[in-house]
Amino acid sequence: MGLRVLGIDPGSHVTGWGLVEAVAGGARQVASGVSMPRARAGARRLGELADFLDRLLDEWRPDAVAMERAFMGRNAMSALKLGEVRGALLAVAGRRGIDVVDYPPASVKVAVAGNGRAEKAAVAVGVRHMLGGRHEAGDSTDALAVALCHLLHARHERRLAAGSPGGGTVVAGRRGRRGPRALAAAPPVAETPVRAALRLRARSVRRTRLA
């Protein structure tokens, strides 16, 4: 059994989830769905959502959890509610000792659709292309996209590690043993969707640190 990733698209009203598993030559969908807590009170809604994630983790036993990073829009109240949802989900994973990797929306879109500004319909097409089956635009499909983004990221990191033992050349001459002249003469490496997603994620991390 390959790497199993639970992707989560958190929302103040509807939270999407999708589980994918690495297989030879690609990935397969294991399960997906949405969580819509019935309680109206904020604390109870968060409690229902936390219980739901607990059950998901018990049932499917993912190796990793990936979550879409909150988009900071102009509505402060919406951002606050979304932050509470993320906090509840992170607490559940943290209590179990599971690390949660978050990805900016643009990185997810690049990974599955090849465009950081892709609309939901284009993301659904990308998910359909990578997993097969029917996938309509929506929260569960977005969650599958997050899981696929992490699966591609993890696969790319393993290839880099396998191709650069002992701290050799990593990516396009960033660091290696060939010397600056050889690196300067090396042809540029074409940017794949995975490399673009990694670049966007690294840029986002740098901005967060500077802030």
By DSSP bridging, strand 4-9 and strand 64-68 are: parallel
How far, in Å, CA of 46 to CA of 57, rounded?
17
Among residues 92, 95, 86, 84, the alpha carbon closest in space to that of 41 is found at 84
Check if 68 is active-site: yes
Percent of the chain with pLDDT over 70: 76
Angle at 45 between CA 41 and CA 47, to 5 degrees: 120
Catalytic pick among 9, 21, 102, 142: 9
Query: Structure tokens of 68?
Result: 């879409």
In eight-state DSSP terms, residue 4 is E
- Regions in the chain scoring below 50 on pLDDT: 165-190, 205-211
Catalytic pick among 21, 68, 102, 142: 68
Check if 102 is active-site: no
For 112-147, the three-class secondary structure string (H helix, E strand, C coil) is: HHCCCCCCHHHHHHHHHHHHCCCCCCCHHHHHHHHH
How far, in Å, CA of 178 to CA of 180, rounded?
7
Domain boundaries, the chain: 4-174+187-210
Q: Which CATH architecture does the domain made up of 4-174+187-210 adopt?
A: 2-Layer Sandwich (3.30)
Check if 191 is active-site: no
How far, in Å, CA of 56 to CA of 30, rounded?
12
**Residue 67 to residues 24, 100, 119, 183, 186: CA-CA distances in angstroms?**
24, 7, 18, 36, 36
Please give the pLDDT value at position 200: 60
Answering whether pTM is above 0.85, one says no
Q: Which residues contact 49 (CB under 8 A, 6 or more apart)?
A: 15, 35, 37, 85, 88, 89
Catalytic pick among 21, 102, 139, 142: 139
Please give the pLDDT value at position 73: 65
